[in-house]
Amino acid sequence: MLVAFAVWPNNTTEGDSVRDAVAAAVKVVRASGLPNRTDSMFTTIEGEWDEVFDVIHRAADAVSPYGSRVDLIIKADIRPGHVNELDGKLERLEQAIAGPDLS
């Protein structure tokens, strides 16, 4: 499965950065050894249910010292029997973009 998530402390004041809190969460993800990718909005992890959600739980725990509340958004693509989809989906998209122009 692929799981995209975003986690941050929600009790910051206007203008405060959540960069350090998000960095703490991303460090947990990268240390997990699971395939992952972070972009400007989400971190995506690939793995099995239990291992992916364990990492997300630990990432949320890593954010908790930065505020009294933590917000978490999760989106999952559950596709049993498929692996290497973190890159595979993007490769197929790039092939489609580079494919024949049908216009």
Contact 24, 38 (CB under 8 A): no
Please say if the pLDDT value at position 14 is more than 60: no
Torsion of CA 19, 86, 34, 53, to 10 degrees: 70
Determine the pLDDT at residue 34.
98
Determine the pLDDT at residue 70.
95
pLDDT category at 30 given cuts 50, 70, 90 is very high
pLDDT digits (tens, 9 = 90+) for 56-99: 999 999 999 998 899 999 999 999 999 999 999 999 999 999 98
Decide: helix, strand or coil at residue 101: coil
Q: Please state, for a pLDDT cut of 70, what percent of the chain lies above it.
A: 92
Identify the residue whose tokens are 């490769």. Answer: 91
Instruction: List domains and CATH numbers for the chain.
Output: 2-98 (3.30.70.930)
